[in-house]
């Protein structure tokens, strides 16, 4: 098989949650620009409309729908509608996620980092904890369940979950709820991969490190913060949404057909430790 055919997603029916910005939008663009038919779902109705129109104007087969992934009924309906439109569901990206606010350390880098009372365990409200778990874990479960309902009868499919480097290592500047939810999503991914393997459905995860997106209030766009974080990344730079495109295309294509239950870290080496 030619390499171009191996990595082809042309004609594939794809749904991406959290697809109107950041990593989700980069995933949508990567697959749509390579011929996939993509539905983006996002809570940001204005963002969905604007990005859908922009990509359609560029000649891509993209549609969008505003959905709060915490509403499992609405999420089911949106995925069902996309599958009905396309006649099948080939690829599902469970990408939607939110941050959990600050952790108990209030700075990204440098010595003598101050403790942050707002992120202390005893200051965590049930509301704050539950919202993060609902979006970053419960909605992933609902997304995988909906995808399986369509993929099992066709005996094929690709499911990709966006987890985080925080699923693999503790980080004091990241809120506890975020780490717990992402670790849970990673283990859920492995469990579902085991269940669906016999149906020729692969289930994998992308675990990003520090990427410049709007999550966390968009603080990652600050150039000073980027330089500060980059000092602890062996690649000496932070990640940008376009860095996710190749991995997303690989996991959505036939090239990854014998890979399942894996969490692939994409972090410039951050999780390895510091290097000069």
CATH number of the domain bearing residue 208: 3.40.50.720
Positions marked catalytic: 178
Per-residue model confidence (pLDDT) at position 229: 87
Q: Which residues of the chain fall short of a pLDDT of 50?
A: none
pLDDT of residue 111: 59
pLDDT of residue 116: 84
Q: How many separate domains does the chain show?
A: 1
User: Which residues constitute the domain of residue 250?
Assistant: 3-272
Selection from 246, 252, 140 nearest residue 266 by Cα:
246
CA angle 95, 98, 99 (to 5 degrees): 130
pLDDT on residue 102:
83
Burial (0-12, 13-18, 19+ Cβ within 10 Å), 193 = buried
Output the CA–CA distances (angstroms, integers) from residue 172 to 105, 151, 219, 245, 260, in the order listed: 5, 39, 17, 29, 30
Measured between alpha carbons, how far is 166 from 162 in angstroms, rounded to an integer? 11
pLDDT at 236: 94
What's the whole-model pTM score? 0.95
């Amino acid at each position: 098989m030619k390499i171009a055919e191996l990595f082809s997603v042309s004609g594939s029916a794809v749904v991406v949650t959290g697809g109107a910005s950041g990593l989700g939008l980069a995933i949508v663009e990567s697959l749509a620009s390579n011929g996939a038919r993509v539905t983006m779902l996002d809570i940001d109705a204005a963002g969905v409309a604007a990005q859908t129109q922009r990509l359609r104007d560029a000649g891509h087969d993209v549609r969008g729908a505003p959905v709060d992934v915490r509403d499992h009924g609405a999420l089911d309906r949106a995925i069902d509608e996309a599958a009905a439109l396309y006649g099948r569901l080939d690829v599902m990206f469970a990408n939607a996620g939110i941050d959990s606010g600050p952790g108990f350390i209030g700075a990204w880098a440098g010595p003598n980092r101050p403790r942050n009372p707002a992120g202390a365990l005893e200051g965590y409200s049930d509301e704050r904890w539950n919202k993060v778990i609902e979006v970053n874990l419960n909605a992933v479960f609902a997304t995988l369940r909906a995808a399986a309902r369509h993929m099992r009868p066709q005996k094929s499919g690709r499911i990709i979950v966006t987890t985080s480097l925080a699923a693999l290592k503790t980080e004091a500047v990241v809120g506890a709820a975020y780490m717990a939810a992402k670790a849970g999503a990673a283990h859920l991914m492995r469990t579902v991969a085991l269940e669906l393997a016999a149906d020729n459905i692969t289930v994998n995860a992308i675990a990003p490190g520090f990427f410049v997106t709007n999550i966390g209030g968009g603080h990652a766009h600050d150039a000073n913060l980027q330089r500060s974080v980059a000092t602890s990344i062996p690649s000496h730079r932070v990640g940008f949404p376009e860095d996710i495109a190749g991995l997303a295309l690989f996991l959505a294509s036939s090239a990854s057909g014998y890979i399942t239950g894996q969490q692939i870290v994409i972090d410039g080496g951050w999780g390895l430790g510091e290097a000069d």
